[in-house]
Chain A
Amino acid sequence: MYAVRSGPVLVKIANMMFKQKFSVTRMPGFSVVAMICFFALYMPLAPLVIYSFNEGNNIALWEGFSLRWYGSAWENELVQGAAIRSLIIASFASVFATIFATMAALGTTRTKPYRGQMTIYAMINQPLMVPEIVTAVALLILFALIKQATNYHGFAYLIIAHTAFCIPFAYLPIKARLEGMDNTLEIAAADLYARPFKTFRRITLPLLLPGIFAGAMLAFVISLDDVVITEFVKSAGQDTLPTYMLGQLRRAITPEINAISTVLLGVSVLLVTLIFFMSRKRGN
């Protein structure tokens, strides 16, 4: 459920970075509310991170500092397999989703207004509105049919499913970037004898790159910590890190789970920070 909750927040951050800065920060009481929010958001993470360094076997009883559980997670073949699977799926899904999202963003912002544009916009963002569990069940049924017909049980289903729900996350920052981009630059290029494709390659695409990177990273993060859809779509032996962790919860929990969570958290924070700094550097 992490994806569902954090996704829109990430999108908001991305939108804010590419569009105008607003100044509620100067409204009275803002800092107090902000402090409370930050506290509520990050407080629960503290025990998780702290106990990942626990020496003992218990996730609630401190027995001293050690990196033991990081080592054990690192050597656990199930964790290794799940981590590699997660990375492969997230890489493919974010690349594909970003390609589709870029085309969609160009199609919805760089054309003359046309009938049905709102419908298309709504359709692109559909995965944000349909409950994830519904999508998951729908995909389960659809893929079951296909699996029966083709007898193919491989990885591709997961990549396709992840690509699909990552598209809106990749789409929004790219669209925000395009909308913030002055289209007189494209007109100026046409004025200087650039045909439409040249204009796209020399002007639109380079200026869009920060948005595309941000979209891709967002998609990567979203794919990386998806549970619900993955759980429904995966075949036997196709655990990703989050579904592996979910499986572990049914057994005795050790701080190994804390260690894996902490690493996942670290990667997510790192990527989002990267998005932030990149857009600060390249954005005007």
Chain B
Amino acid sequence: MSEKNAAVLIDKAEKVFGKDSDRVVALNGVSLTILENEFFTLLGPSGCGKTTLLRLIAGFEQPTSGRIHLHGKDISYLPPYERPVNTVFQNYALFPHMTVAQNVSFGLEMLEKPRAEIDKTVNEMLKLVQMEALRDRRTDQISGGQQQRVALARALAPHPKVLLLDEPLSALDYKLRKEMQIELKRLQNETGITFVFVTHDQEEALTMSDRVGVMNNGNILQIGAPHEIYDHPSERFVADFIGDTNFLTAKITSRSDELLTIKLSSGIEISVSAGNEVVGKDAVTLAIRPEQTTISNSVESTELQGVLRNIVYIGTDTHYHVGIDDESLFTVRVQNIHGRQQNFEIGQNVGINIDSNMVQVLKD
């Protein structure tokens, strides 16, 4: 195997909690490679196994089966205090009987670094997270955002090979969260440490990550750069979980190596690239992002036609909900640019234009 650049290699990790009727499979044979210096995000709904995966890497849990390697070394069964990995906990878990500076120096003291080096590193870290002024405060005398920074400094101070972050921003309010997202990205760049970040917030995952792993039910469904995940979701869950998506059922009428010809319910045929394997299937599901479509008054030469059911104005955009058959509504998102708005009336017939490059054929 050529894992030259792998920081963390997870090989078919399985984690089962409980026995018999209490049995929960938290991780269902997950394999994953996280590269050095990467900002990697595990994204998925609550209960999908993100924290469990992180705890396996940190050593707070041990896999039921499977292996975990760190820079080529098998660490599957090492205790946490022997792994050069640090964690930023969801509730920060700062030591309440220590000052800010004492919290930050704790890891270095446990590593028995010389005092001078500890002091120097603590100063650097406090400076890095802009907490020098509050270094002698007790941790219950600082705000949530400041606690967050201390937790970061504490975990970064021993300069771990990998930093694990379990939904560290979820307790912060919106504005602070946005600031911290940028801050985290900066810290990752400056320290060059591999970050493994866990969140259930798709927007957060897309803005911060080099690569994202989308999880559901103890499985990793898709791994890729944010734009890959967003533009080319491999399956319905991924497309649905990240952003808004229209799903259409359609039939494959012909296929070549690179192109599929697909007949929409309207009878119109479009050609799309054969990205995902849909071998041996004729009926497929298509995912189409609302912003990759346009709406028009004319129903001539449009891919879909329907009746306008609803108009939702949300500031930057307007959403048009179009009934394309008896059951489903198709959403078209149009940016509100001054002078370019069109007038539509609810109940009128409209046409929908679809950019066939942005149509994604799903695996299931």
Contacts and interface: CB of A to CB of B under 8 A. Distances in A.
Q: A and B: partners?
A: yes
Contact of B87 (A182, A191, A194, A207): A191
Given A187-B60, A284-B96, A192 B86 contact: yes
A187, A203, A207: which has the most chain B beta carbons within 10 Å? Answer: A187
Interface string A181-209: 01011011111111100100011001100
Contacts of A190: 59-60, 79-81
A194 B106 CA distance: 9
A207 B97 contact: yes
A192 B110 contact: yes
B158 interface: yes
- Interface size class, chain A: 10 to 19
B140 A193 contact: no
Given A184-B89, A284-B140, A193 B97 contact: no
Interface string A205-226: 0110000000000000000000
A185 B81 contact: no
B123 interface: no
A199 to B, nearest CB: 8
A198 B80 CA distance: 14
A190 to B, nearest CB: 4
Contacts of B91: 182, 184
B107 A193 contact: yes
B79 A188 contact: no
A217 to B, nearest CB: 20
Interface in A75-98: none
B86 A184 contact: no
A193 B93 contact: no
B93 A188 contact: yes
B80 A191 contact: yes
A193 B140 CA distance: 24
Given A193-B81, A194-B110, A284-B140, A188 B58 contact: no
B110 A193 contact: yes
A194 B93 CA distance: 15
Interface string B319-340: 0000000000000000000000
B241 interface: no
A284 B139 CA distance: 12
A267 to B, nearest CB: 30
A193 B158 contact: yes
B89 A188 contact: yes
Contacts of A184: 89, 91, 93
B67 interface: no
Interface string A143-174: 00000000000000000000000000000000
Contacts of B97: 206-207
Nearest to A188: B93
Nearest to A192: B107
Most chain-A Cβ atoms within 10 A of its Cβ — which of B85, B96, B155? B96
Contacts of A203: 95
Contacts of B89: 184, 187-188
Interface in B75-124: 79-82, 85-87, 89, 91, 93, 95-97, 106-107, 110-111
B154 interface: yes
A207 B96 contact: yes
A253 B263 CA distance: 108
Contact of B111 (A191, A193, A206, A284): A193
Given A191-B80, A191-B87, A192-B86, A185 B111 contact: no
Contacts of B79: 190
Interface string B114-149: 000000000000000000000000001000000000
A189 B87 contact: no
A283 B286 CA distance: 57
A155 B293 CA distance: 92
A206 B102 CA distance: 14
A183 to B, nearest CB: 10
A234 B175 CA distance: 70
Contact of B106 (A192, A207, A284): A192
B106 A189 contact: yes
Interface of B: 58-60, 79-82, 85-87, 89, 91, 93, 95-97, 106-107, 110-111, 140, 154-155, 158
Which 5 pairs, one residue from A and one from B, show the smallest C-beta to C-beta distance? Answer: A192-B107, A193-B110, A188-B93, A190-B80, A184-B93
10 contacts: A187-B80, A188-B95, A189-B95, A191-B80, A192-B106, A193-B110, A193-B158, A194-B81, A194-B110, A284-B96
Interface of A: 182, 184-185, 187-195, 198, 202-203, 206-207, 284
Given A187-B89, A191-B155, A202-B106, 11 more contacts: A187-B93, A188-B93, A190-B81, A191-B85, A192-B86, A192-B155, A193-B107, A193-B110, A194-B106, A284-B96, A284-B140
